[in-house]
Amino acid sequence: MPERHPAFDPERFREEGRAVIDWIADYWATLASRPVSPAAAPGDVRSHLPPHAPESPEPLTDVLDDLDRIIAPALLHWQHPAFFGYFPASAGGPSILGELLSAGLGVQGMLWATSPACTELETHVLDWLRDLLGLPEKFASRGAGGGVIQDSASSGVLVALVAARERATALAGNRTGLTQDERPLVAYASLDAHSSVEKAVGIAGIGREWLRKIPLDAVGRMDAAALATAMDEDQAAGRIPFFVVATVGTTASGAVDPVAEIAAIAGRHSAWLHVDAAWAGAAAICTEFRGPLVAGANHADSWGFNPHKWLLVNFDCHVLWVADRRPLVAALSMKPDYLRNRATESGSVIDYCDWQVPLGRRFRALKLWMTLRMLGAEALRMHIRRHVAWAGEFAELVAGDRRFDLLLPPNLSLVCFALKDGDDATQALLDGVNATRQAFLTQARVSGRLAIRLAVGGATTTRDDVVATWRRIAEHAG
Ligand code: PLP
């Protein structure tokens, strides 16, 4: 028998794979008894690692021991029941198994021809998901549009922006580069839009100065009248308003921009409208939350959300739908000789490398497919409903305590609150609660004030964890 490569030995993999799955299951089983956040100081982890890579093989047991001893204690446990920071990034079991299968198959799906199932499953599952969220028909693959999985929402907004740039310049941006001196292209997003919008504007050569940050109304939404004025002024001055981002669920407060109004304004200037629903979009799977989340989507050119935030799909998995795939493909397609093949030339297949920045792509659709199949849509709806209900209860507890201000009514499962005593007191409270390592929350600026954010969304979190976290906060408030 030929000698087996140690990296590709089925029997060895079977055994070691079981040990790794057991390690993960034990990690889950012991999560609640661990502190949610690490006590590590900078450099601690590296001080326990040897200075050079090993020359000879080490057994998996030694690696897992080090995982227990060095790595796990220095992690912020994002799957912990008392993790309420940022937005959730919940990694469900079916999705992890899908990720493992994707790695196990090890295929590249840049072209339909490089693994037809990789492309077709993605197209199909994103049609399912569009349907489950109640998004407009124009995003379905049977028409001019369709969906694609990107790594993150930051990539989603970047490729939408590049497509918009090329649509606005009749492909001159790609060809000769932009000259932003005479008739600059101008982009628009609210002051609370995610920083990835500004990053994308820089990367795409628009220039960060040409992103207009539109003020907010009293509840954190883009002020549509201010957008209209800014776009009209730019147009009158000979500039080209070409790209608008509406946020459905801002990172700071979860506010939902008035997308329908924004769409009407963007439409008057033929500007591309991208909807960033990174976190909140998942809640559209519940019909009772859907209305405001998908309002105006019918007039959007692109709409994206992260199943890797609140839909139990492990990072990374951002879904971007476009109403018309042609500008995206025109902006991003590169077909050197070594990629040419009959299927592409027939024009009857999708080559997803034309919808993203990198060429190579892994089989991410598997984890989405497995999550939808093995949990079913109703379990995903219950997951979201429970979090929204618990956030509502938490908000009532805050509102009932005279020391606190509830800064906004909760947006879905995000609650923003502060101490009446001011920003310093609020920061000290947040630091004090996080220092217990029994709960983890983060901050944002909401209506000009420092706010503590409680983002409910973890798969392991229970109602009791939410209530216990309120008690901990109330005790620390003095
Ligand atoms: N957009 C919004 C509204 C977000 O809240 C976030 C992250 O929290 C992002 C975009 C960026 O997400 P990603 O990490 O997938 O790039």
CB of 276 shorter than 6 A to ligand 1: yes
Cα 346 to ligand 1 centre (Å): 37
CB of 305 shorter than 6 A to ligand 1: no
Cα 155 to ligand 1 centre (Å): 10
| Cβ-based burial of 330 (10 A; exposed 0-12, middle 13-18, buried ≥19) | middle
Cα 87 to ligand 1 centre (Å): 9
pLDDT in tens, the chain (478 residues): 678 898 999 999 999 999 999 999 999 999 999 999 999 899 999 999 999 999 999 999 999 999 999 999 999 999 999 999 999 998 999 999 999 999 999 999 999 999 999 999 999 999 999 999 999 999 999 999 999 999 999 999 999 999 999 999 999 999 999 988 889 999 999 999 999 999 999 999 999 999 999 999 999 999 999 999 999 999 999 999 999 999 999 999 999 999 999 999 999 999 999 999 999 999 999 999 999 999 999 999 999 999 999 999 999 999 999 999 999 999 999 989 999 999 999 999 999 999 999 999 999 999 999 999 999 999 999 999 999 999 999 999 999 999 999 999 999 999 999 999 999 999 999 999 999 999 999 999 999 999 999 999 999 999 999 999 999 999 999 7
Cα 278 to ligand 1 centre (Å): 5
CB of 247 shorter than 6 A to ligand 1: yes
Q: Which residues have CB under 8 Å from 308's CB, separation 6+?
A: 89, 152, 314, 315, 316, 317, 318
**CA distances for 257 relative to 69, 218, 240, 308, angstroms:** 46, 12, 23, 22
d(CA 444, CA 450): 6
pLDDT given for residue 1 in this prediction = 64
d(CA 174, CA 169): 9
What is the pTM (predicted TM-score) of this model?
0.97
pLDDT given for residue 182 in this prediction = 87
Q: What are the strands, taking DSSP E only, across 140-239?
A: 146-150, 185-190, 211-214
Tokens for 275, please give them.
Answer: 């909807």
- Name the pairing type of β-strands 211-214 and 185-190: parallel
d(CA 313, CA 91): 5
CB of 302 shorter than 6 A to ligand 1: no
| Mutation to probe ligand 1, out of 151, 154, 357 (largest number of atoms < 8 A from CB) | 154
pLDDT given for residue 258 in this prediction = 98
User: Of 250, 257, 258, 306, nearest to 282 (Cα)?
Assistant: 306
d(CA 25, CA 350): 38
CB of 434 shorter than 6 A to ligand 1: no
CB of 150 shorter than 6 A to ligand 1: no
pLDDT given for residue 427 in this prediction = 98
CB of 278 shorter than 6 A to ligand 1: yes
Q: Which residues have CB under 8 Å from 33's CB, separation 6+?
A: none
d(CA 478, CA 474): 7
> Three-class SS of residue 151?
coil
CB of 251 shorter than 6 A to ligand 1: yes
